[in-house]
Structure 1
Amino acid sequence: MTIDVRSISPEESVRRAAQLMDELNVGALPVCDGPKLVGMITDRDITVRSTAAGQAPESTRVGDVMSTDVRTCYSTQAVDEVLGQMGDVQIRRVPVVDQASHTLVGIVSLGDFATRHAGPTDEALEEISLPSEADRSRAH
């Protein structure tokens, strides 16, 4: 997992989230209220939930378009279990949180697994890559 993860506040603007994604060359950012994970915002959230809806990026808050139903894992979980979860819900990255405090401690991506666990990763990638329903609703 990556342990030095940058996050963004739900009070920040969507424009700032996009700028930070560009600076870090990532497609998703954990959203934290202090140390506690409260959501995730992706480039797709910005595009579909904000830009396509005609919202102004300077005045739209991250908290207004982020996904709040975030799947997380713990650093102690088995690789196969986390990969299975990623495949089940078609996600490519999972925030790693402390089990007791729910604070963000890292993030693990499908790419992280691909370099170490080819067999289970191939199966998860196949599940993740299946077409899914369009998400035009707000996450909360």
Structure 2
Amino acid sequence: MKVAEMMSTDVCIAAPTDTLQRAALLMAQNDIGSLPVGDGDRLVGFLTDRDITVRAVAEGKGPETPIAAVMSAEVKYCYLDDDVDDVAKNMADLEVRRLPVVNRDKRLVGIISLGNFAQSGHRHASQDLLEGVAARH
């Protein structure tokens, strides 16, 4: 099975110039804990609720701080046509719950998450991923 068959395509994207307050609002409205950060459809970063807590609030940065100041600029991602078993293993090794999905032109096309694996019924990949993520916590 390929990532394209399992990923979510309805992805909220933030701009690097958006504020942390806007990012937090998007996360709250969509019940999500992370946002890909894009310049158009080019993936330039990734922001998590943990980034907001640890890199912003803990350091005294306010809600008007641009996302670019606290986002992770070194983004791990997978390709649309990658095999889900390989992606699950990679996510487990990286100990992450989600990865942005890009096409071969490195344009953001979706996101794949632990939830996608759980809903897919792809038992082997889901188990590998869950064990990797659980190892982190």
- Say whether the fold is shared (TM-score over 0.5): yes
Match of 2:58 in 1: 52
Aligned-partner Cα distance in 1 for 2:8–2:114: 12
Match of 1:10 in 2: 16
> One-letter code of the match for 1:9?
A
1:107 Cα deviation from its structure 2 partner: 0.5
The reply to whether residue 127 of structure 1 matches residue 100 of structure 2 is no
CA contact (8 A) 2:38 2:44 kept: yes
> One-letter code of the match for 1:111?
G
Provide the alpha-carbon RMSD of the alignment.
1.1
Matches within 5 A, 1:94-109: 94-100=99-105, 102-109=106-113
Match of 2:26 in 1: 20
1:103 Cα deviation from its structure 2 partner: 1.2
Match of 2:116 in 1: 112
Aligned-partner Cα distance in 1 for 2:109–2:38: 11
CA contact (8 A) 2:38 2:45 kept: yes
Secondary structure (helix, strand or coil) at the match of 1:122 reads helix
Unmatched 5+ stretches in structure 1:
133-140
CA contact (8 A) 2:95 2:136 kept: no
Aligned-partner Cα distance in 2 for 1:124–1:61: 32
Unmatched 5+ stretches in structure 2:
1-6
TM-score, normalising length from structure 2?
Answer: 0.90
1:35 equivalent among 41, 45, 49: 41
Percent sequence identity is 45
TM-score, normalising length from structure 1?
Answer: 0.89
